[in-house]
Amino acid sequence: MLPLSWLLALSAALFCIGLFGVLSRKNAVAILLGVELMLNAVNINLVSFWRYGNFAQMSGQVFAIIVFAVAAAEVAVGLALVISVYRQRNTVIADDIDMMKW
């Protein structure tokens, strides 16, 4: 059987890759891709803790499902914002969208 440490190391690595993507990417859509990676890393952690902890209590899975809902909401609103900005400003580069209002 798998030791918990492997799973935690994997999720930490995935989280850091996502972090790098969020910090380094120019395109706003690509930044959101990085956020998805980070959320998935979190979910791996939650599910691992459910499995290795007291699995008869479903807390880990419930948390994971809530994270799914949050991820969906985040993507829906985030991409809607990107598209809206693109339609008005014709850019998707996050650094160019710095006026707070226009």
Partner 1 sequence: MSLAQIVFLVVAAVILGSALLVVTTRNLIHAALWLIVTLFGVAVLYALLNAGFLAVVQVVIYIGAIAILFIFAVMLTRADLRDRAPQLNRGWWLNIILALLTFGGLIWLFQSWTGFSKTAADIPAGFDAVAQLGNALISPTGYLLPFEVASVLLLAALVGAVYVAFSRK
Partner 2 sequence: MQNEWLYIGLFVVVGALVPTAAIVLSWIISPKKPNPIKQSTYECGMETVGDNWVQFKAQYYVFALVFLVFDVETVFLFPWAVALGKLSVFAVLEGIIFILILLAGLVYAWRKGTLDWV
92 binds partner 1 (CB under 8 A): yes
User: 16, 79, 81, 93: which one contacts partner 2 (CB under 8 A)?
Assistant: 79
75 binds partner 2 (CB under 8 A): yes
In angstroms, the CA 19 to CA 37 distance is 8
One-letter amino acid at 54 equals N
92 Cβ contact partners less than 8 Å away, ≥ 6 residues apart:
27, 28, 29, 82, 85, 86
To partner 1, the closest distance from the beta carbon of 71 in angstroms equals 7
Query: What's the alpha-carbon Rg for the chain, to the nearest Å?
Result: 17
To partner 1, the closest distance from the beta carbon of 54 in angstroms equals 9
Let me know if 102 is exposed, middle or buried by CB neighbors in 10 A (0-12, 13-18, 19+): exposed
User: 42, 80, 100, 102: which one contacts partner 1 (CB under 8 A)?
Assistant: 80
Chain residues 37-76 in contact with partner 1, contact rule CB under 8 A:
37, 40, 43-44, 47-48, 50-52, 55-59, 61-62, 64-66, 68-76
69 binds partner 2 (CB under 8 A): yes
In angstroms, the CA 67 to CA 9 distance is 20
| Binding residue count for partner 1, defined by CB under 8 A | 73
